[in-house]
Homo-oligomer: A and B are copies of this chain.
Amino acid sequence: MDTHPPWSYCRTTLTRPYSQCALSKRFTSLESWMVTLAEVAQHAGVSASTVSYVLSGKRSISATTRHRVEQSIRELGYHPNAGARALASSRSNIIALMIPLRTDMYVPVMMEIAIAVATTARTHGYDVLLLTGEEGPDAVRRVTGSGLADAMILMDVELDDERLPLLRDTDQPSVLIGLPADTSGLTCVDLDFRATGALCVEHLAMLGHRDIAVIGEAPAVYERHTGFAERTLDGLRSRAQELGARLLHRPCEGGYDAMAVTLARIFDERPGTTGFVVQNESAVEPLLALLRQQGRAVPEDVSVVAICPDQVAVQASVRLTSVSIPAQEMGRHAVEHLVAKLDGRGEDEVVLIAPELTVRTSSGPAAS
C-alpha cells in the first residue's frame, strides 16, 4: 500500500476541497476515473462555461477556442455526466418506451418497433428507457415525476387505457402506438387497420371470392379491447357489405391444433368458402398446412391474404399476399414526433399509415 498523502495524487491544480479525498478514492475504488468539464476547461485553458457552450452551441465561440476545446475533449476522452446534465438542464435526453409484457402476439413486430425507436432516438441524441407494462399506470407517474425521461412512447394501447388520463394530465410529450377510443389531446401512430381490413376484402372480392373467412386474433385480444383487432374487423365487414361478399369471422388462438378446430368449423358452416384473411401470425403456417392436407390448393382452390410483417409473408410455405405491418415506420415516426415536440415544434395529431397490399402467390381468381 502506498503511504503518500492523498493530495500528492492530484492531477490538476483546481481547488477542490472535497475532491482530494475523492481523488484518492478514485484510485482505490471500483469507480473508473471520470473526466469532468472543469478538467477539460483547464486543459484547454478556458473557463468551464466556455466548454459548455462549445458542447451545446448555444453561444458563439471563436473557431480557435472551439478547436482547442474539442482537442482537449478528445485527448482526455471526456464524456459529459448524464446525471449532472439532467439536473442542470432538466432534460434527461431519454425517451421511455413502454412495451407490453405479454408475448402472445406480434412479438417480431414489437421487437422491430423497439429497435426502430432505439436507433431513431440515437440519431437525435436520445437514449431509450425500456419499461414493461407490468407496472401499469404507476410507471407513467414514476417516469414523469422523477424526470427520468423527457417523453414516452406507449405500445399496445387498449381502447380505454388507464394510462391515458395520466398522459393528458402531464405536460410531458407522448406518442401512442395504437389507437384508443378517445384520442383527444393525444398523439397516436398506427396502421390504418380499418383500411387494411377493407383492402383485404377488396382484393379477394375483386378476384371473385364471395365467401370469405377471417381468421382473427386470439379471443383474449378481442376481450382486452385492443383497438386494432376491432378496427380491422370493422373495415372487413363494411367493405364486404359494400361489395356483396359474405364474411365469417372466427377468432383463433394460433397454433396447429386450434387452427384445425377453427378451420373445420368454418367449412362446416360455409362449405363454399374460398377466401381467407388471416390476422394472427401464428395461425398462418398451420392454416396453409391444413389446407394442403385437405387437398385444397393455394391459390387454385382457395386464396389467402395475411396481415403480417413482410418477413413472415415471404418465409411462409406459400409466398403470401399480404398487407404488411410497417413497424419500422411507426417507431421512427413516433420518435420524430416526440423530438419535434421537445423542440417546441409539433402538434397533437393522429397519424394513420395507409396500408399497402402486396400480391404474392397465395391469392388468385376464384374458381367458377
Residues of A within 8 A of B (CB): 30-32, 34-35, 77-87, 90, 92, 94, 97, 99, 101, 103, 107-108, 110-112, 114-115, 118-119, 122, 127-132, 134-135, 141-142, 144-148, 169-172, 254-256, 282, 285-286, 288-289, 292-293, 311, 314-318
Provide the bound-state CA to CA distance between A132 and B30, in Å.
Answer: 26
Give the residue of B31, B111, B128 whose beta carbon is less than 8 angstroms from that of A103: B111
Specify which chain B residues have a CB less than 8 angstroms from the CB of A80 in the assembled complex. Answer: 146
Provide the bound-state CA to CA distance between A87 and B81, in Å.
Answer: 8
5 A-B residue pairs with CB within 8 Å = A81-B146, A82-B146, A94-B129, A130-B130, A256-B317
Give the residue of B92, B111, B171, B292 whose beta carbon is less than 8 angstroms from that of A82: B92
Specify which chain B residues have a CB less than 8 angstroms from the CB of A254 in the assembled complex. Answer: 315
Give the residue of B128, B171, B256, B288 whose beta carbon is less than 8 angstroms from that of A30: B171
Chain B residue with Cβ nearest A173: B30
Specify which chain B residues have a CB less than 8 angstroms from the CB of A31 in the assembled complex. Answer: 90, 171
Provide the bound-state CA to CA distance between A35 and B145, in Å.
Answer: 8
Shortest beta-carbon distance from A129 to chain B in Å = 6
Provide the bound-state CA to CA distance between A254 and B285, in Å.
Answer: 14
Shortest beta-carbon distance from A314 to chain B in Å = 7
Give the residue of B82, B94, B169, B317 whose beta carbon is less than 8 angstroms from that of A147: B82
Complex contact A79–B111 (CB within 8 A): no
Complex contact B79–A87 (CB within 8 A): no
Shortest beta-carbon distance from A121 to chain B in Å = 9
- Chain A to chain B: the 7 pairs with minimum beta-carbon distance, closest first: A83-B86, A79-B145, A255-B315, A83-B87, A256-B317, A82-B148, A130-B130
Shortest beta-carbon distance from A91 to chain B in Å = 9
Provide the bound-state CA to CA distance between A118 and B98, in Å.
Answer: 11
Complex contact A316–B147 (CB within 8 A): no
Shortest beta-carbon distance from A288 to chain B in Å = 8
Give the residue of B77, B144, B148 whose beta carbon is less than 8 angstroms from that of A145: B77
Specify which chain B residues have a CB less than 8 angstroms from the CB of A316 in the assembled complex. Answer: 255-256
**Which residue, of A79, A83, A128, has the highest number of chain B Cβ atoms within 10 A?**
A83
Q: A114-B130, A132-B119, A315-B254 are in contact. Are A147 and B81 (CB under 8 A)?
A: yes
Shortest beta-carbon distance from A33 to chain B in Å = 9
Shortest beta-carbon distance from A233 to chain B in Å = 24
Shortest beta-carbon distance from A72 to chain B in Å = 15
Complex contact A87–B87 (CB within 8 A): yes
Specify which chain B residues have a CB less than 8 angstroms from the CB of A282 in the assembled complex. Answer: 315
Shortest beta-carbon distance from A330 to chain B in Å = 15
**Which residue, of A82, A146, A148, A289, has the highest number of chain B Cβ atoms within 10 A?**
A82
Give the residue of B30, B111, B147, B148 whose beta carbon is less than 8 angstroms from that of A110: B111
Complex contact A119–B101 (CB within 8 A): yes
Shortest beta-carbon distance from A327 to chain B in Å = 10
Provide the bound-state CA to CA distance between A172 and B79, in Å.
Answer: 15
Provide the bound-state CA to CA distance between A103 and B90, in Å.
Answer: 35
Complex contact A103–B92 (CB within 8 A): no
Complex contact B111–A107 (CB within 8 A): yes
Complex contact A79–B141 (CB within 8 A): yes
Q: A97-B130, A129-B130, A142-B79 are in contact. Are A147 and B34 (CB under 8 A)?
A: yes
Complex contact B119–A134 (CB within 8 A): yes
Specify which chain B residues have a CB less than 8 angstroms from the CB of A317 in the assembled complex. Answer: 256, 285-286, 289
Shortest beta-carbon distance from A215 to chain B in Å = 15
Specify which chain B residues have a CB less than 8 angstroms from the CB of A119 in the assembled complex. Answer: 101, 132, 134
